[in-house]
Structure 1
Amino acid sequence: MTEILTITGNVATVPEQRTLPGGATVTSFRLAAAHRRFDKNTGGWIDQYTNWYQVSAFRGLGEHALASLHQGDRVIVVGRMHLRAWENGTRSGTSADIEADAIGHDLLFGTTVFTRTARRDGAAAPREAAESDGSPAAASAPPAGARDADGWAIPATDELVGAAAAADADTPF
């Protein structure tokens, strides 16, 4: 059984990348998830305790995490937790390791800019392929980052098609 969990916290260490013997890359960093509560007596927030996690992101996710995350960033991590016992001769303990499936900045605390990257196999991402084929749909597609009069992002044509298909699908319940 696999437990998927979502944790918000601060990147506590500078993300580091290493290459595994099989050639895959992994980016790792420590995540500090502080728990706070409101104290009625003082009228303010107080820190109760902090849980520490070792987060590992593999391959493309790890490469993007290395380029995007900095020490101190507030992030949301979704992944699978593994508890690991360790010993170093004089001390022993248990470590909570998370193998990340997704990582993103916590937008409650700031803004971020998303940049789509090309796929590893060299093929263009769906938007770039549609823009380069000269089709009428590509010509009518809004430019990347386009915004309407109210400042909201305009979805790409392929996103509109996907949303329409999802609306036509039967609900699972």
Structure 2
Amino acid sequence: MFETTGTVIGNVVTTPVRRELPTGESVLTFRLGSTSRRRDAAGEWVDSGTLFITVTCWRRLAVGVDASLRRGDPVIAHGQWRTVEYRAKDGTDRRELELRAYAVGPDLSRCTTAVTRNSEHGSGSGPVSLIRNTCTGSSAEERARVSEDQGDARAVQSASSDRAETQPVDA
């Protein structure tokens, strides 16, 4: 209800570790470092401190991050902030900032990547199907192509016939 969400831009600083829980759910964690930069008196860029947080990914996000990201990769992570309290091996009480991620992806201002869409949930058909956009064309064209009651479907079909086949999105 009163979730505090945020986005962090940084680098993966530890190797992501994925585990399967007894319930069958996947969970993946990694540490993310975000270093702020500022100009000094001489006008040069200098590092101004690093924020280290633990990012936790669940279920399909865990599978996607495990297949895609490695230590050192530039990423953008968005999710819910949590404080995790625990007792360290030396007996001291500790608190750690955690981001329970809703979305994690590469920072395309600092790298390039190829996108592979998951199609593990089969394909739907008919006007009730949800369609994921391809990299070309607009989402309005895709919605019009799926819904029979929106515009002239023949015009949309012919305008987008040269594009790659779209993939369904599971609801």
Cα distance in structure 2, aligned partners of 1:45 and 1:87: 38
Structure 1 residue 98: Cα displacement:
1.0
1:123 aligns with 2:122: yes
SS of equivalent to 2:46 = strand
1:155 aligns with 2:137: yes
Match of 1:72 in 2: 72
Flag structure 2 segments of 5+ consecutive residues without an equivalent. Answer: 127-132, 151-171
Q: 1:25 to 1:34 in 2, by over 3 A?
A: same
The C-alpha deviation readout for 1:77-128, integer Å capped at 9, x for no partner, is 0100101122214233210111110111111101111110113xx422x6xx
The C-alpha deviation readout for 1:25-81, integer Å capped at 9, x for no partner, is 111110001111111x23211111111111111111110100100111111101001
Cα distance in structure 1, aligned partners of 2:72 and 2:115: 19
Match of 1:88 in 2: 88
Structure 1 residue 16: Cα displacement:
1.0
SS of equivalent to 1:26 = strand
Indicate the percent of aligned positions where both proteins have the same amino acid: 30
Cα distance in structure 2, aligned partners of 1:74 and 1:163: 36
Flag structure 1 segments of 5+ consecutive residues without an equivalent. Answer: 131-143, 146-152, 169-173
Structure 1 residue 159: Cα displacement:
5.7
Match of 2:48 in 1: 48
Match of 1:137 in 2: none
Match of 2:34 in 1: 33
Query: Is the helix fraction higher in 1 or 2?
Result: 1
1:105 aligns with 2:106: yes
Aligned structure 1 segments of 4 or more residues deviating by more than 4 angstroms: none
Q: Indicate if the aligned counterparts of 2:18 and 2:62 stay in contact, CA closer than 8 A.
A: yes
Cα distance in structure 1, aligned partners of 2:19 and 2:38: 38
Match of 1:3 in 2: 4
Match of 1:59 in 2: 59
The C-alpha deviation readout for 1:142-168, integer Å capped at 9, x for no partner, is xx97xxxxxxx5227x76233899xx9
Cα distance in structure 1, aligned partners of 2:67 and 2:51: 25
Cα distance in structure 2, aligned partners of 1:34 and 1:163: 44
TM-score (norm 2): 0.72
Structure 1 residue 24: Cα displacement:
0.2
- One-letter amino acid of the structure 2 residue matched with residue 123 of structure 1: G
Aligned Cα RMSD in Å?
2.6
